[in-house]
Structure 1
Amino acid sequence: MQPFQSICQPFLVSAQKVLYAGTVWNKLLVPKHRFIYWQILNSHLLTRDQMSRILPIQSVIFPVCASANESHSHLFLDCIFSRKLFGEVSCWLSMFQWPKSYLELQQWCMTAINSLQNQVINAVFAATLYFIWKNRNKCIFDSVCFSTSSLSLEIRKIVKYRVLGLSFLQLSKRDNYILNVVKGW
């Protein structure tokens, strides 16, 4: 009888391990935020520029700002709406420099889980990206776009409840301070 591994080896798919997997699949992130975050980092969301390669579509212009073609880079980094939302979130987060390129985004994701503070910032970041995508879909499919202030408030609430809903066994003084900051949101 052959060992299980030798029988299954031809059917296994090999893939390169990505360094940001731990950041994306962190327990502080809401599951649907994790999925969209993963899709964003791997450029797998069907933005209009990618859809236009497969299907004929009327316009590749991003409907939220109507100022540039919809791509991952524009949607999550360059768009005036996204930048304004980053500014709103930064008003209450105040300890994070938003990435300006996809390379910076991936570099941030490789170091984001080394402390509770970075995990909370990562949860805010993932929620922000998720709500940018959700707002984009609402604008396209329901003809309703949210304001940046309402999205910022929603991000703050969701991350606060997620962080406070998880139990932490032993916390350092710094981590207790971080949790008290989150409680104050």
Structure 2
Amino acid sequence: MEYQPSNNSSWVWRRICRVKQIIAAGYVDGVLDVQHTGYTPAGCYEWLKGAGVTVQWFRAVWNDWVVPKHQFMGWLFAHGALRINDKLLLYGLDIDDKCYLCGKAAKCMDHVFFGCSYSKQHIMEWCVDRQGSKLQKGVQAAVGMGAIYHVWHQRNCSENDCVLMVPKRVAELIIAEIGLRVRRRDEKDLTIGDKDWLKTMNLL
């Protein structure tokens, strides 16, 4: 526990040793004090992570119905980490401030996903006002995350390849992807009401 890495040690090794020192501070008489049962990887991780705050978007992004690649994009969106024009301009890049989806002069994330006429053509309507059973809310959130993914993908296609898919086709792709995820589930876990709802949404 007293070991200290030398100055010429690698960055990775120094980081590992730093975590080791943090963990060492939690031990009292050979027992990790915060657990009272000794060391376990899960308990140590929870202790290192600390008490966090559950954000509002957590259940929308991290639920079982969301396609993994959509989850990652939704996570970036929730953190405001997508490189929209206004962010790129901060880096000093010489770019056009127009929206690559509708062609109007708007460059912020709110416009791309909620104000743009392209996105508003029934693509982004799933992202708000989720209602229904737990399953229905989860599936609606999944479609919302799919909409974020595909709107961003179309924005990049328009910028890089000058190709833009019509909104109706994008909506069909989203439904197809979420429907595939739904159909992989065991129908025994679905109530009659949920089955009927999924069928009306062309997801089952």
Distance of 2:167 and 2:100 partners within structure 1: 15
Equivalent residue in structure 1 for 2:192, among 159, 162, 173 = 173
State the percentage of identical aligned residues. Answer: 22
Deviation by residue 1:117-162 (Cα, 9 ceiling, x = unmatched): 2222212211111110000011111221111121122112111111
Partner of 2:162: 143
For residue 119 of structure 1, give the secondary structure of its aligned residue in structure 2.
helix
Equivalent residue in structure 2 for 1:19, among 34, 56, 70 = 56
> Which consecutive residues of structure 1, in runs of 5 or more, have no partner in the other structure?
90-96, 100-104
Say if 2:90 is the partner of 1:53.
yes
* TM-score normalized by the length of structure 1: 0.75
More helix by share: 1
CA shift for structure 1 position 2: 5.2
Return the letter of the residue paired with 1:65.
Answer: C
Change (3 A) 1:17 1:80: same
CA shift for structure 1 position 24: 0.7
Q: Write out the 4+ residue segments of structure 1 that deviate beyond 4 Å after TM superposition.
A: 8-15, 111-114, 182-185
Deviation by residue 1:76-118 (Cα, 9 ceiling, x = unmatched): 00001111243xx8xxxxxxx656xxxxx5xx5xx67952122
Q: Which has the higher contact order (CA 8 A, sep 6+)?
A: 1
Distance of 1:15 and 1:56 partners within structure 2: 36
Larger radius of gyration: 2
Return the letter of the residue paired with 1:119.
Answer: G
* Maintained 8 Å contact 1:29/1:123: yes
> Which consecutive residues of structure 2, in runs of 5 or more, have no partner in the other structure?
1-29, 36-43
